[in-house]
């Protein structure tokens, strides 16, 4: 095995770099720019049971060292993802891929995962529990240990593939939620999703984006992400996939020292479409600089 190899829930990766869902589509657009098979894997666009047009525009607001988005899970729905998107993806990406799934009820999550479960290219499921629970008064599943565990159990019943639960940072106790997911059958935890943010246009005195608030991402949130990865990795026995503001190979090393087995890169892909390729290229030199022989050896190395 090479210096960059890691094992994520029983599947070996050539390196720990994973483009985050919502920033890499289904891969084929980026494949026009470089060979995306250099990636460890990628998490494809968040998929729901039914097609979604998403939120009204404008959906994007610029921020210092980041951005706010409220795209609203725009996607063609699971049936079209299986029939149209995955065949195109297979032509350009020849490794196992991570399927990111969202829902608005426990039944939605289970239905979508069960449909995707038969697709051989899917190696892991990444279940995003930051979506509104419409049957529970509009709260996000990810803000409650009990609700997050309920989704985890429902999805666990319909797939034997590795199951990662993607958690929201907009909570008081991230550890309690992560441990509830572990107890309910999760094989790993992905964190963090975006922070909740807002911008106001000084000329109009109105919110910049139509949804008023949205997900704040970018390098500004990196310290928050490192803190939460560290807390969760020291509280659970399952792997953690770290993300949030990662832009450089040094950031990857720091995230892995905090306890991440693999590292997702999100907003950086929207600034530089070669971001993941460049990070993978830079990793060996950064490892040499800090006397790191293998990446596996540094996971959770910060005590």
Residues with a known catalytic role: 131
β pairing state of 206-207 and 260-265: unpaired
Q: Is there a contact between 42 and 33 (Cβ–Cβ < 8 Å)?
A: no
Q: Nearest to residue 268, comparing CAs of 259, 277, 258, 255?
A: 277
Distance CA 87, CA 92 (A): 9
Separation of first and last alpha carbons in the chain? 26
In 3-state terms, what secondary structure has residue 214? strand
Q: Which of 244, 237, 185, 181 is nearest to 18 (CA)?
A: 244
CA 16 to mean position of chain CA atoms = 13
Torsion sign (Cα): 22, 26, 31, 34: positive
32 Cβ contact partners less than 8 Å away, ≥ 6 residues apart: none
Helix (H) or strand (E) holding 262: strand 260-265
In angstroms, rounded to a whole number, what is the distance separating the alpha carbons of residues 148 and 162? 17
């Amino acid at each position: 095995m090479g210096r960059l190899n890691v094992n994520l829930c029983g599947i070996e990766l050539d390196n720990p770099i994973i483009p985050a869902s919502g920033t890499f589509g289904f891969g084929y657009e980026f494949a026009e720019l470089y060979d995306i098979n250099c990636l460890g894997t990628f998490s494809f666009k968040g998929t729901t049971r039914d097609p979604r047009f998403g939120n009204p525009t404008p959906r994007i607001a610029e921020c210092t060292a980041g951005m706010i988005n409220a795209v609203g899970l725009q996607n063609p729905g699971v049936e079209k993802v299986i029939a149209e998107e995955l065949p195109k993806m297979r032509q350009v990406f020849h490794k196992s891929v991570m399927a990111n799934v969202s829902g608005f009820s426990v039944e939605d999550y289970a239905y979508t995962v069960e449909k995707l479960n038969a697709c051989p290219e899917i190696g892991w499921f990444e279940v995003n529990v930051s979506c509104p629970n419409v049957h529970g008064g509009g709260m996000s599943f990810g803000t409650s240990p009990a609700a997050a565990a309920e989704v985890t159990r429902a999805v666990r019943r319909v797939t034997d593939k590795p199951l990662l639960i993607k958690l929201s940072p907009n909570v008081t106790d991230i550890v309690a939620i992560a441990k509830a997911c572990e107890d309910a059958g999760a094989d790993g935890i992905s964190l963090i999703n975006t922070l909740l943010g807002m911008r106001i246009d000084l000329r109009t005195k109105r919110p910049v984006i139509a949804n008023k608030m949205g997900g704040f991402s970018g390098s500004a949130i990196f310290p928050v992400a490192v803190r939460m990865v560290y807390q969760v990795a020291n509280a659970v026995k399952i792997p953690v996939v770290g993300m949030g503001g990662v832009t450089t190979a040094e950031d990857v090393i720091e995230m892995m020292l905090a306890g991440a087995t693999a590292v997702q890169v999100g907003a950086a892909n929207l600034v530089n479409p070669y971001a993941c390729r460049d990070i993978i290229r830079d990793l060996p030199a950064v490892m040499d600089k800090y006397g790191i022989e293998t990446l596996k050896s540094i996971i959770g190395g910060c005590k």
